[in-house]
Each structure stands twice: as C-alpha cells, then as structure tokens.
C-alpha cells in the first residue's frame, strides 16, 4: 500500500516536472496554477494557531479561510505574508500585520456569539454573527446610512427650488 502510494507520487512528480519543463516557454505565470487533477493529499496540520481551536485540521482551517475570503472580498495574501524565497503564501508566518488584526476580529466575533447573543432568550444559534454580518464582502465595512423614511413628509431641502408654505 505504502509502496504503491510512493510509486504513484513519484509518477506524479515525473509528470509534473515534464509538464513544467514543457510549459517553460510561454510565461512563468502558468507555473502558479497546479496541473489539473493534481492532488497532494491531506493538508499539513496547522502549526501556529493562537485563537482558533488548536485541534482543527488543515482542511478545516482552509475551509474557514475560504469563508473569510468571501466575507471580506479579499484574497489569502490580504492577511498572509508571502515567503520571499518560494514566492508562495506562508500561512503560519505572522509577518503580515493584517493577520493579527484578523485574530482580534476572530476573538471579537466569538465573544459576540458566545457571551452576548446567548443572553437573548430566543436566540437561535443559526443566527450567529459571522465576519460577513459586518463586512458584507468588503475589507473595511462601510458605515451604514439608513434610508430616508418614506411615510413622512419630504424633508425640507436646504435651498428649496420653489418656496413652500411655512409648516
Ligand atoms: C481575513 C484574514 C485572512 C484571510 C483572508 C485568510 N486567512 Fe488564513 N489565517 C488568518 C489568521 C488570523 C490565521 C491564524 C489563526 C489563529 O491564530 O488561530 C490564519 C491561519 C491560516 C492557516 C494555518 C497556518 C498555521 O500553520 O498555523 C492556514 C493554512 C491558512 N490560514 C490558509 C489560508 C488560505 C489558503 C487562505 C485563502 C483561501 C487564507 N488563509 C485566508 C487570517 C486569514
Ligand atoms: C461587529 C462587526 C464586525 C465583525 C463581526 C467583524 N468585523 Fe472585521 N472589522 C469591523 C470594523 C468596523 C473594522 C474596522 C474597519 C476600519 O477601521 O476601517 C474591521 C476591520 C477588520 C480588519 C482590518 C482591515 C484592515 O486592513 O485594517 C480585518 C482583517 C477584519 N476586520 C477581519 C474580520 C474577520 C476575519 C472577521 C470574522 C472572524 C471580522 N472581521 C468580523 C467590523 C467587524
């Protein structure tokens, strides 16, 4: 079994290097995208979790990360530093200061759900606060401006075009 896996892995590596060699000429940008169908097996376990549960698997963490990506409308490298040598993202590294801000946000969101929302008598856990509750697909949530109320007489404009009778 193990020997078979090792065999298939080396076949993959041979195929991959052949693919990269043949893809050399057009542009180096193609090297970033893995060959279709290529799987690398389970992700390595995280090594630098400070706020997320330490027993999360690599796959669990990345699933959550994809959610952050969508909730904030950003790419992984918005929070993660790049390794200058390999030119690839280095998720365990803390070199990108945004990662620490995101840690604070994770703690804040956990507290909102665990300490405060649970105090609502009729709270449903399906109505949990997520990053998207505030961020709405933006890295910096926009200030909310309520719509002007409609069932009210029009607000006096600062310089009315036509004089209105006093009210
Ligand atoms: C909004 C910021 C943010 C985005 C976007 C984000 N991450 Fe993360 N990521 C974090 C934070 C914060 C941690 C550390 C959590 C902790 O300390 O418990 C982390 C941890 C990780 C880890 C665990 C590293 C380790 O070994 O400790 C991996 C892997 C990871 N992220 C991958 C990704 C990938 C892949 C993407 C894009 C799909 C991504 N992240 C997008 C903030 C982000
Ligand atoms: C209760 C509302 C709320 C929730 C929930 C929330 N955020 Fe935020 N977040 C904010 C506000 C407000 C800011 C400050 C934006 C600013 O200063 O311009 C912010 C800032 C950030 C920043 C810093 C952006 C930067 O570049 O400086 C990151 C990263 C971030 N949030 C990630 C997250 C993540 C990840 C989650 C979910 C775990 C989350 N936030 C949940 C309201 C929220």
The predicted structure's pLDDT at residue 42: 83
Distance, CA of 65 to CA of 113 (rounded, Å): 19
Between residues 112 and 150, the one the model is more confident about: 112
CB of residue 54 inside a 6 A radius of ligand 1: no
Summarize the confidence of residues 4-31 as an average pLDDT: 48
Ligand having the closest approach to the CA of 100: 1
d(CA 146, CA 36): 47
Q: Which residue has the higher pLDDT, 22 or 96?
A: 96
Asked if 72 contacts 130 with a C-beta cutoff of 8 angstroms, the reply is no
Confidence band, pLDDT 50/70/90 cuts, at residue 45: very high
Task: Starting from the CA of residue 131, give the closest ligand.
Answer: 2
> Which pair of structure tokens corresponds to residue 155?
């607000």
Mutate to test the pocket of ligand 1, among 49, 57, 65, 83 (most ligand atoms within 8 A of CB): 65
Report which DSSP code applies to 162.
Answer: S
Does the Cβ of 61 fall within 6 Å of ligand 1? yes
Q: Which comes out higher in pLDDT, residue 123 or 14? A: 123
Residue 113: what pLDDT? 96
pLDDT (average), residues 119-140: 93
145 or 10, higher pLDDT? 145
Q: What pLDDT does residue 39 have? A: 57
Q: How confident is the model at residue 77 (pLDDT cuts 50, 70, 90)?
A: very high
**Distance (Å, rounded) from C-alpha 107 to C-alpha 130?**
12
């Amino acid at each position: 079994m193990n020997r078979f896996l090792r065999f298939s892995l080396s076949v993959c590596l041979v195929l991959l290097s052949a693919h990269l060699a043949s893809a050399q000429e057009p542009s180096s940008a193609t090297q970033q995208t893995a060959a279709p169908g290529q799987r690398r097996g389970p992700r390595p376990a995280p090594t630098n979790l400070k706020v997320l549960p330490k027993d999360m698997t690599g796959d669990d963490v990345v699933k959550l990360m994809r959610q952050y990506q969508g909730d904030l409308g950003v790419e992984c490298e918005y929070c993660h530093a790049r390794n200058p040598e390999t030119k690839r993202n280095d998720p365990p590294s803390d070199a990108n200061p945004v990662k620490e801000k995101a840690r604070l946000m994770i703690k804040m969101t956990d507290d909102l759900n665990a300490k405060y929302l649970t105090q609502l008598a009729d709270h449903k856990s399906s109505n949990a606060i997520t990053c998207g509750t505030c961020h709405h697909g933006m890295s910096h949530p926009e200030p909310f401006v309520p719509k002007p109320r409609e069932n009210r007489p029009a607000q006096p404009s600062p310089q009315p075009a036509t004089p209105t009778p006093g009210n």
